[in-house]
Chains A and B, each alone.
Chain A
Amino acid sequence: MKFGVIVFPGSNCDRDVAWVTQGLLDQPTRMIWHEETDLSDIDVVVIPGGFSYGDYLRCGAIARCSPVMQATINHAQQGKYVIGICNGFQVLTEVGLLPGALIRNRDLHFICDRVPLTVSNTNTPWTSAYKPSEVIQLPIAHGEGCYYADNKTLDELEAHNQVVFRYGTSSSVTGSDNPNGSLHNIAGICNRQGNVLGMMPHPERACDPTLGNTDGLRLFKELL
């Protein structure tokens, strides 16, 4: 399985991802500069965390216009895997591969923490190694992670089981364990086909046992 990690000016979790896919999982991994347009050698496109283009205008708004994103859309439309983590999730909503938007955290603070998450859909290529409703812990680090969508979109997400991760220790949509005000406690969603995943928490920061938590490793390992 060949991984491609997109690098925008301002990406800063790109090498953390490569450390997991190449360093820990021994998979071929290529860094993809944002001006590239050919992703035909790649199986899994990873849009990493960071502050692409300095978060100018809106988080992910400028990245959305870069040449590599059209290639990423084509990649996704072929049913191949795309994962956006943190800023990558923001980019995926801006480009329209996932619905909704990520806005300023409810309490305005940038949050850097480790939080409990409930895996609310294990029927995806990314989460089949987790147990239904399993509670895991992953790091979060964001200022604009509050998931917003209109009621119709939220209903559709729930009806098609597209909410993959929720904040807190239960699958409740109204739980109080919500760090940023995300509607329905949403921490991660997939598209209807399941091949495109976006999530604010950082699974790549919870893979190497040296860091004391490997809850994120199964997400990458399951794809192989």
Chain B
Amino acid sequence: MTQKYNAQVYVTLRPSVLDPAGTAVRSSIQHLGYDTVEQVRIGKYIELSLTATDEADATKQLDQICDRLLANPVIEVYRFELTPVLEPA
């Protein structure tokens, strides 16, 4: 039996990597008067669906996909959330 999953993948820059775009956006937010905003970091959000035998298998596949393509481990980290897709009966 295989199960279909929806995955929501978040790819963000490592803390040690400068994010000039995030800095520019933070500055714009502050110009709007929101002095409370201290830090902005911009990342990527990716949605995909996949089939797997179970959640462990889906996690394993996604880890590989993220390590090999969706994120560049030199500059980025990732995390994801998996949601099983309920097939209509």
Contacts and interface: CB of A to CB of B under 8 A. Distances in A.
B37 interface: no
A148 B17 contact: yes
Interface stretch (A78-86, A100-108, A209-217): A100-108
Q: Is the interface of A mostly helix, strand, loop or mixed?
A: loop
Contact of A106 (B20, B69, B70, B72): B20
A93 B76 CA distance: 14
Given A57-B70, A61-B69, A150-B16, A101 B75 contact: yes
A58 B20 contact: no
Contacts of B20: 104-108, 181
Contacts, number: 36
Interface in A56-88: 57-58, 61, 64-65
B18 A106 contact: yes
Interface string B14-34: 001110110010000000000
A65 B21 contact: no
A141 interface: no
A138 B74 CA distance: 28
Chain B contact-residue range equals 10 to 19
Interface residues of A, number: 21
Nearest to B13: A103
A42 interface: no
Interface string A88-106: 0000011000011101111
B4 to A, nearest CB: 24
Given A61-B69, A106-B18, A150-B74, 7 more contacts: A57-B69, A61-B72, A93-B74, A103-B17, A107-B20, A108-B24, A150-B16
Closest 4 CB pairs of A and B: A101-B74, A101-B75, A108-B20, A101-B72
